[in-house]
Amino acid sequence: MFAIIGIVIVFGSVIGGYLMAHGHLEVLFQPNELVVICGAALGSMLVANPLPIVIGVMKGLIGVLKGSPYNKAMYLENLKMLNAVFTHARKNGLVKLEADVDEPDKSQVFSQFPNFLKNHAAVGLVCDTLRTAISGGIGHHELDQVMEQDIEIHAHEQNLIATALNTTADAFPGLGIVAAVLGVIVTMGALGGPPEQIGHHVAAALVGTFLGILLCYGILGPLASNMTKIIDCEKEYLLFLRAGVMAFVRGAAPILASEIARRAIPHHERPSFKEMEEACRGGAK
């Protein structure tokens, strides 16, 4: 939501200042310049990145426009989820969790938390770790290292997506110059014509440079920066899950393991112990 507000402010400020200088909006409407700049940018992204990263960029942009889901309410729900899973395992034995971690979408425990199930990285981290712990044959230290490696690989893959968008954003000023040069070529071909026609071609060429710089520093660059911050928030979320799961695997009681996980939440989103306790007991609305 804030990203959308920011984009509106960027365009509003630029267009508002332009109108205050008695500019004419119809001059800025140059579809041919947009085709050159945006088409070339999309093509360069396809040249530089495999299809999964391109798809990830599109999904990441949608996620940025929606806003980060990693807030206090989300962490409270996940604390409740961890406590429910740990309590179920403590009452029925860790082996009884095998069916739940094999098919979490069909589990009576995990199915209570649909938002958790939507995050495939989180589901994989928790369920794969619990499955490995049930199988045995691996120490707590090694299991913790496996979780750390899993998180780092996921974060690296996500950072490749943000880097792809940032690289494309950096190309926009150069592509704007390409569009401007093409406009100059068209202008040179119109020499000898009416002055109004030449002026229109010159303005169109300058608009190409203007759009390239604006889209880079006003839109795509900030979107890529926002995407990087959301990726960092997701990594913090996975580290929070890691702390809780490892505490339980090492033998901590469900509520104590949940408390250890709570301590891994960033301070600005961390609920209090009382809030966590009420949520785990079903008292949170």
- Please give the pLDDT value at position 283: 41
Cβ atoms within 10 Å of 104's Cβ, excluding its own: 20
Lowest mean pLDDT among 35-49, 89-103, 210-224: 89-103
Does the pTM of the predicted model rise above 0.75? yes
| Mean pLDDT of the region 117-130 | 94
pLDDT at 285 over 80: no
HSE of 178 in the Cβ direction (CA atoms, 13 Å)?
A: 14
Structure tokens at 258: 């949940």
Fill in the DSSP letter of residue 191.
T
- Please give the pLDDT value at position 195: 75
Domain boundaries, the chain: 31-280
- Please give the pLDDT value at position 95: 83
- 6 vs 278: CA distance, rounded Å: 37
Quick: pLDDT tens for 135-147: 877 888 999 999 9
- Please give the pLDDT value at position 199: 77
Quick: pLDDT tens for 161-203: 999 999 999 999 999 999 999 888 888 877 777 777 787 778 8
- 148 vs 130: CA distance, rounded Å: 14
Contact in structure between 198 and 187 (CB atoms under 8 Å)? yes
